[in-house]
């Protein structure tokens, strides 16, 4: 019996293997059989092929990736092997991978994918040729960025359920295996967004489905590497095959049902007929106003409009495909991201700080704009996907010859790529086993990563849902980070994975999720109500009473003769509380309503402080043209820990002396020295915009690119040092500026944060002081370095205007150091730091916002864009030379465009002056100790000054008759003695950057003006902005 078993189970399969291998070799063309003679091969003869086939068939899935890594290590980045008559070439070189994936000739999947057909049929993953091309084109709109926006509510909802489940499971610091929780969350998300049906997997309703997916994947990988299972009949009768077909029956039943898919389809089709819905056209109207649709809804829309291109069977194929690809890949990626964050507390803290700068303490849902702002978290997820790509390998079958860098590969060969191994290439990723998200913030790495980083594949057959997947991962991971601290009890070496269709986790360290804020018991609720509501309210009332009593009588009686919204003590309390509760995005509409209801002069008391809002150009002229009223309002004191007493915050004699000293640093001939730097970084911005457009379906969020360009310009012209922000070297600095601004505006409107001690103890205050520490360290290091270099080389002095032409290009910091050298009694090292900090803040952030809005508005008005480009053509012709000062002066129409954009979206939405003396307005006398507030954003929408105020009409700034109206009715740079000293510098910068883009690109905005959402902080912040497309001219 034993002898018979040996005969049956060893000799017969071996004989079949030998026969099949010989037959397979003989029926192939000669060049196919001779491939092992010119490509490094591990199967040069029939015997080695048989040994290799048996060896790989016997391996456990967890041993496959180390096995293939060893093959590359021993043979180089291109390796051939035969497995039972099939020819494979393994690739691990980015240049060769680029040749393969960037060509549309090689889009056929390898023969292994046919093993998935009983499950996924001819869905997008498995189809090929014309069917694949038509299907890909049809499905592209279902993943348009505005369509993706519709999925966000469902993703946010299940992310919150997921976070709650984690915290419940980890009560009393209990360790948990996170994988199961993530899988169920991902399944809930994919079912609601793909099927439009609630699965309730996180409530225990989907165990059989999850098990069936895992079982089917294991059966397929079993079949891929066990050659005897390639035969359909043998596979069907094998244990692995029986398990596979049993599993896919469960999966198909689920797809057909999810409360019976056929009934769902019929119901949805009838609803579509009765409601007259049509296919979603993402450009047609803002996503917010459209009804939420699932992927299945969108497919049914396609079926309704294109019945000849999509059938019910096709829909089932695609739903099966996206359920499998969408849920399992994302769950693995999110699991590994959370685990790695738990192992690296410093990275976790930095990601959480970024989220705090975006959301503050709000628990609102993440929007598309929020997701786009998560640059560091994006890098974290990308680094996690590098280390653990969900799909460890994929294949392409050649129909035509493939010419690699060093080898020619014949048709009928299957090319195999292992992202898991490629992502560990030391030439692309130094220290490849380390978790370093910063490598994805460095712009210098982008070209290396193009075909060296392929977690979503690349080229024509890249993952159609990669943006959907990234949004889902960002939403889920950010929700967890905003509510919990993650602690992993193991290290990276404890992670054990195996290679199946997807990476499968064999062993993982356990994780603890600790709540950041505990609000559980009734006692805590009671204490919170007392501390959060009653204590501040009592403090507000006491402070307001005390403030009123200590003021002069005329100060207390101002509400009797000036239109006021706080005529009584109670109305003051209500307004103070209401303003404190407003979101930054609601402040400008709130103040606009105040002017509409009360006129152009409005008074109110805010927690004991008296404010008068002005919106009349004649009254503004009285205020701003008088040197008696140059003292900044009390809100500016909140900036002192950051900017100290630089030009923005100083007053009195110090301000007069400092303004006089600094005027020469913005002399028109000095400004000419800054132009080469501005031109250089403008060109880099253009390259970055084209590069980003090419890599992201030509739809990009522009604000981030403009911000980094502006930062590069301001650092080189102000500091005389290259920041390389556009190459990813400034993430921490940019994050710190935004975080500091958010903290300050929060403090301005939340009266309980006016106290220095309370602010320092608050979360907002801690974030502020942490941010300014980073900003000060950066400034100090650059100044120290610049001092040392100047001391070594000798400071070159600028002694008169006549010498400007002959001087070497200097930065603002160089000029300040010259002032220090010539007049040490008027300028100290501390003074220099104050001014550099001030101009870095004021110069970079204001300009970047202004340039962003100019480009967006030009993208919405092609006729204005064309006219501006025609003007530039008349100045430059077709030359690519830099813009000179003479060129800038000739850009009359572009200047009008910039001014009109600044009218609609002034970078500084409001500023204040504190009165030391009475102010006589046209109709009212305002007593001392009152803070006057001016809102350029609202003033610029005054219909008496600007007819059709919401329309973008640059021509109004070309009409000489308007100039008189605009003197104190147009204040993007303030006006009078304390106007912006750098406004000419800013205009030059904006002209150079915008003109450089216009000379090289045509662009469009994918939205309307109504899609622009802004909020009030120290400067305008962009909450939501249409994406843009850039086309090379």
Mean pLDDT of 366-373: 89
pLDDT tens per residue across span 389-413: 999 999 999 999 999 999 999 998 9
Strand, coil or helix: 311: coil
Question: Domain of 316: which CATH number?
Answer: 1.10.630.10
pLDDT at position 639 over 70: yes
User: In the 8-state DSSP scheme, what is residue 82?
Assistant: E
Q: For residues 623 and 748, which has the higher predicted lDDT (pLDDT)?
A: 623
Helix (H) or strand (E) run with residue 1024 in it? strand 1020-1024
Query: What pLDDT, on the 0 to 100 scale, is given for residue 785?
Result: 74
| Beta-strand relationship, 1001-1005 and 911-914 | unpaired
Question: Under 8 Å CB-to-CB from 708, ≥6 apart: which residues?
Answer: 688, 725, 726, 730, 734
332 and 253 in a common domain: yes
Give the domain-ending residue among 469, 487, 515: 515
406 and 374 in a common domain: yes
CA distance 771 to 774: 5
User: In the 8-state DSSP scheme, what is residue 949?
Assistant: T
Residue 504 lies in a domain: yes
| Binding site members | 980
Residue 981 lies in a domain: yes
Bridge partners (DSSP) of residue 408 are: 403
153 and 56 in a common domain: no
Query: What pLDDT, on the 0 to 100 scale, is given for residue 207?
Result: 64
pLDDT tens per residue across span 319-338: 888 877 777 788 899 999 99
Q: Return the number of other C-beta atoms located less than 10 Å from residue 314's C-beta.
A: 20
pLDDT at position 648 over 70: yes
Helix (H) or strand (E) run with residue 397 in it? strand 394-397
Q: Give long-range contacts, CB 8 A cutoff, 24+ apart: 540-547.
A: 540/573, 540/576, 540/577, 540/607, 540/751, 540/752, 541/573, 543/607, 543/608, 543/751, 544/569, 544/572, 544/573, 544/576, 544/605, 544/607, 544/608, 545/569, 545/608, 546/608, 547/607, 547/608, 547/609
Q: For residues 958 and 578, which has the higher predicted lDDT (pLDDT)?
A: 958
59 and 177 in a common domain: no
pLDDT tens per residue across span 441-454: 887 777 778 889 99
Residue 786 lies in a domain: yes
Give the domain-ending residue among 44, 60, 91: 91
Mean pLDDT of 833-853: 87
Please write down the HEC assignment for all residues of 419-488: HHHHCCCCCCCCCCCCCCHHHHCCHHHHHHHCCCCCECECHHHCCCCHHHHHHHHHHHHHHHHHHEEEEE
Closest of 626, 622, 600 to residue 613, by C-alpha: 600
Strand 414-417's sheet: what is its strand order?
78-83, 86-91, 414-417, 394-397
Q: Is 728 left (phi over 0), alpha (psi -120 to 50) or beta?
A: left
pLDDT at position 35 over 80: no
Query: What pLDDT, on the 0 to 100 scale, is given for residue 552?
Result: 58
Q: Which of 526-530, 845-849, 879-883 has the highest mean pLDDT?
A: 879-883
Q: Is the distance from CB of 623 to CB of 919 less than 8 angstroms?
A: yes
Q: Is the distance from CB of 934 to CB of 590 less than 8 angstroms?
A: no
Supply the DSSP string of 610-665, one letter for each residue.
EEEEE--HHHHHHHHT-TT--PBPGGGGGGHHHHTTSTTT--HHHHHHHHHHHHGG
pLDDT tens per residue across span 127-172: 887 888 887 877 777 776 667 888 899 999 999 999 999 999 998 8
Alpha carbon distances (Å) from 690 to 375, 695, 699, 1028, 1030: 19, 9, 11, 11, 7
Query: Across the chain, which distance is largest between two alpha carbons, in Å?
Result: 115
Q: Return the number of other C-beta atoms located less than 10 Å from residue 948's C-beta.
A: 9
Mean pLDDT of 917-921: 94
Q: Is 568 exposed, middle or buried (0-12, 13-18, 19+ CB in 10 A)?
A: exposed
Mean pLDDT of 190-196: 80
CA distance 47 to 18: 9
Into how many domains does the chain fold?
A: 3
Helices 983-1000 and 668-695, axial angle in degrees (round to 10) = 40
Mean pLDDT of 617-631: 93
395 and 497 in a common domain: yes
pLDDT tens per residue across span 79-128: 999 887 788 999 999 999 999 999 989 988 888 888 888 888 888 888 88
Query: What pLDDT, on the 0 to 100 scale, is given for residue 432?
Result: 93
140 and 74 in a common domain: no
CA distance 397 to 400: 9
Q: Return the number of other C-beta atoms located less than 10 Å from residue 205's C-beta.
A: 14
Percent of the chain whose pLDDT exceeds 70? 85
Helix (H) or strand (E) run with residue 1029 in it? strand 1028-1032
752 and 646 in a common domain: yes
Query: What pLDDT, on the 0 to 100 scale, is given for residue 24?
Result: 57
785 and 743 in a common domain: yes
Which of 131-135, 343-347, 805-809, 912-916 shows the lowest mean pLDDT across its residues? 805-809
| Binding site members for heme | 980
Mean pLDDT of 707-730: 82
Alpha carbon distances (Å) from 941 to 205, 904, 933, 944, 970: 55, 7, 16, 9, 10
Q: Is the distance from CB of 639 to CB of 748 less than 8 angstroms?
A: no
Residue 588 lies in a domain: no
804 and 697 in a common domain: yes
Closest of 911, 912, 918, 913 to residue 555, by C-alpha: 918
The token duo for 747 is 């403090």
116 and 70 in a common domain: no
Range of the domain at 276: 112-515
Question: Under 8 Å CB-to-CB from 907, ≥6 apart: which residues?
Answer: 845, 846, 847, 849, 850, 972, 1019, 1020
pLDDT at position 854 over 90: yes
- Res. 553 pLDDT band, cuts 50 70 90: low
Alpha carbon distances (Å) from 43 to 51, 58, 413: 9, 17, 14
pLDDT tens per residue across span 749-800: 787 788 888 888 888 888 899 889 988 888 888 787 777 766 665 544 444 4
Give the domain-ending residue among 515, 545, 579: 515
CA distance 966 to 951: 17
Q: Is the distance from CB of 977 to CB of 627 less than 8 angstroms?
A: yes
CA distance 250 to 256: 10
CA distance 355 to 478: 7
CA distance 195 to 186: 13
Q: For residues 751 and 49, which has the higher predicted lDDT (pLDDT)?
A: 49
Residue 405 lies in a domain: yes
CA distance 607 to 750: 10
Measure the CA angle with vertex 695, ends 689 and 697; round to 5°. Answer: 95
pLDDT tens per residue across span 559-571: 678 999 988 878 8
Closest of 396, 698, 747 to residue 584, by C-alpha: 747
The token duo for 741 is 């601004």
Residue 106 lies in a domain: no
130 and 70 in a common domain: no
Residue 397 CA from chain centroid, whole number: 36
Residue 965 lies in a domain: no
Residue 726 lies in a domain: yes
498 and 393 in a common domain: yes
User: In the 8-state DSSP scheme, what is residue 908?
Assistant: S
pLDDT at position 865 over 70: yes
Helical residues (DSSP H) of 877-935, grouped into ranges: 885-890, 892-904
Bridge partners (DSSP) of residue 507 are: 496
Query: What pLDDT, on the 0 to 100 scale, is given for residue 1015?
Result: 83
- Res. 200 pLDDT band, cuts 50 70 90: confident
CA distance 901 to 851: 9
């Amino acid at each position: 019996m034993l002898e018979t078993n040996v005969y049956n189970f060893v000799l017969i399969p071996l004989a079949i293997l030998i026969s099949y291998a010989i037959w397979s070799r003989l029926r192939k063309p000669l060049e196919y059989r001779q491939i092992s003679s010119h490509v490094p091969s591990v199967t040069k003869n029939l015997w080695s092929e048989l040994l290799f086939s048996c060896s790989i068939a016997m391996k456990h899935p967890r041993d496959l990736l180390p096995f293939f890594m060893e093959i590359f290590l021993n043979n180089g980045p291109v390796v051939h092997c035969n497995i039972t008559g099939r020819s494979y070439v393994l690739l691990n070189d980015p240049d060769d991978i680029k040749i393969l994936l960037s060509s549309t000739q090689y889009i056929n999947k390898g023969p292994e994918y046919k093993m998935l057909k009983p499950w996924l049929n001819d869905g997008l993953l498995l189809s090929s040729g014309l069917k694949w091309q038509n299907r890909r084109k049809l499905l592209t709109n279902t993943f348009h960025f505005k369509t993706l926006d519709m999925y966000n509510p469902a993703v946010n909802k299940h992310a919150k359920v997921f976070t709650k489940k984690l915290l419940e499971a980890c009560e009393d610091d209990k360790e948990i295996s996170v994988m199961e929780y993530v899988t169920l969350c991902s399944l809930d998300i994919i079912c609601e967004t793909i099927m439009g049906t609630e699965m309730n997997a996180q409530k225990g309703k989907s165990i059989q489905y999850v098990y069936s997916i895992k079982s089917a994947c294991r059966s397929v990988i079993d079949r891929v590497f066990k050659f005897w299972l390639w035969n359909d009949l043998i596979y069907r009768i094998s244990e692995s095959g029986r398990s596979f077909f049993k599993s896919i029956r469960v999966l198909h039943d689920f797809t057909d049902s999810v409360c019976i898919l056929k009934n769902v389809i019929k119901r949805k089709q009838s609803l579509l007929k009765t409601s007259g819905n049509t296919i979603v056209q993402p450009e047609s109207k803002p996503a917010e106003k459209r009804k939420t649709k699932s992927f299945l809804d969108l497919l049914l829309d396609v079926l309704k409009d294109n019945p000849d291109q999509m059938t019910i069977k096709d829909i089932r194929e695609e739903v099966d495909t996206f359920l499998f690809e969408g849920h399992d890949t994302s769950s693995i990626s999110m699991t590994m991201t959370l685990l790695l964050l738990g192992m690296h507390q410093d990275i976790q803290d930095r990601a959480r700080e970024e989220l705090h700068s975006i959301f503050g303490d709000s628990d609102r849902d993440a929007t598309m704009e929020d997701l786009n702002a998560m640059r560091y978290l994006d890098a974290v997820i990308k680094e996690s996907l590098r280390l653990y790509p969900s799909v460890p390998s994929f294949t392409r079958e050649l129909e035509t010859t493939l010419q690699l860098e060093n080898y020619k590969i014949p048709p009928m060969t299957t090319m195999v790529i292992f992202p898991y191994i490629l992502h560990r290439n030391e030439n692309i990723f130094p220290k490849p086993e380390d978790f370093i998200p910063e490598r994805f913030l460095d712009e210098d790495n982008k070209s290396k990563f193009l075909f060296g980083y392929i977690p979503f594949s690349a080229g024509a057959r890249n993952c159609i849902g990669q943006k959907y997947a990234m949004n889902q991962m960002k939403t889920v991971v950010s929700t967890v980070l905003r509510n919990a601290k993650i602690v992993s009890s193991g290290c990276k070496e404890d992670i054990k994975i195996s290679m199946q269709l997807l990476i499968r986790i064999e062993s993982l360290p356990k994780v603890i999720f600790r709540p950041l804020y505990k609000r559980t018991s009734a006692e805590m609720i009671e204490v919170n109500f007392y501390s959060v509501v009653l204590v501040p309210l009592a403090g507000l009332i006491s402070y307001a009473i005390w403030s009123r009593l200590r003021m002069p009588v005329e100060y207390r009686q101002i509400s009797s003769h000036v239109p006021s919204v706080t005529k009584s003590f109670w109305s003051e309390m209500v307004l103070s509380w209401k303003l404190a509760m407003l979101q930054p995005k609601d402040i400008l509409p709130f103040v606009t309503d105040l002017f509409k209801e009360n006129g152009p002069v409005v008074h109110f008391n805010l927690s004991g402080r008296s404010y008068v809002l002005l919106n009349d150009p004649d009254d503004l002229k009285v205020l701003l043209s008088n040197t008696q009223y140059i003292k900044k309002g009390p809100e500016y004191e909140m900036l002192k820990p950051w900017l100290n007493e630089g030009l923005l915050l100083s007053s009195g004699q110090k301000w007069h002396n400092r303004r006089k000293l600094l005027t020469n640093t913005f002399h028109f001939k000095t400004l000419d020295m800054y132009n080469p730097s501005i031109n250089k970084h403008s060109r880099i911005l253009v390259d970055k915009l084209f590069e980003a457009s090419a890599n992201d379906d030509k739809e990009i969020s522009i604000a981030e690119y403009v911000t980094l360009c502006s930062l590069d310009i301001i650092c080189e012209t102000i500091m005389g040092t290259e920041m390389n922000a556009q190459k990813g070297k400034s993430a921490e600095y940019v994050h710190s500026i935004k975080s500091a601004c958010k903290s300050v505006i929060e403090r301005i409107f939340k009266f309980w944060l006016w106290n220095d001690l309370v602010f320092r103890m608050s979360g907002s205050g801690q974030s502020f002081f942490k941010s300014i520490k980073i900003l000060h360290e950066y400034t100090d290091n650059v100044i120290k370095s610049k001092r040392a270099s100047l001391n070594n080389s000798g400071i070159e002095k600028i002694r008169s205007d006549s010498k400007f032409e002959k001087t070497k290009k200097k930065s603002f910091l160089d000029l300040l150091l010259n002032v220090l050298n010539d007049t040490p009694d008027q300028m100290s090292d501390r003074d220099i730091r104050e001014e550099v900090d001030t101009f870095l803040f004021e110069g970079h952030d204001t300009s970047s916002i202004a340039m962003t809005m100019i480009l967006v508005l030009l993208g919405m008005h092609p006729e204005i864009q064309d006219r501006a480009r025609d003007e530039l053509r008349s100045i430059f012709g077709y030359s690519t030379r830099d813009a000179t000062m003479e060129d800038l002066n000739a850009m009359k129409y572009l200047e009008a465009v910039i001014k009109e954009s600044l009218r609609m979206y002034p970078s500084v939405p409001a500023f204040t002056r504190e009165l030391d003396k009475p102010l006589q307005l046209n109709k009212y006398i305002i007593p001392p100790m009152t803070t006057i507030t001016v809102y350029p954003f609202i003033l610029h929408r005054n219909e008496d000054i600007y007819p059709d105020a919401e329309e973008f009409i640059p021509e109004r700034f070309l009409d000489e008759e308007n100039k008189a109206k605009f003197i104190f009715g147009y204040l993007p740079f303030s006006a009078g003695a304390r106007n912006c000293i750098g406004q000419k510098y800013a205009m030059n910068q904006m002209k150079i950057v915008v003109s450089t883009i216009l000379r090289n690109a045509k662009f469009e905005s994918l939205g309307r003006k109504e899609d622009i959402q802004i909020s009030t902080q120290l400067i305008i912040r962009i909450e939501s902005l249409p994406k843009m497309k850039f086309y090379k001219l």
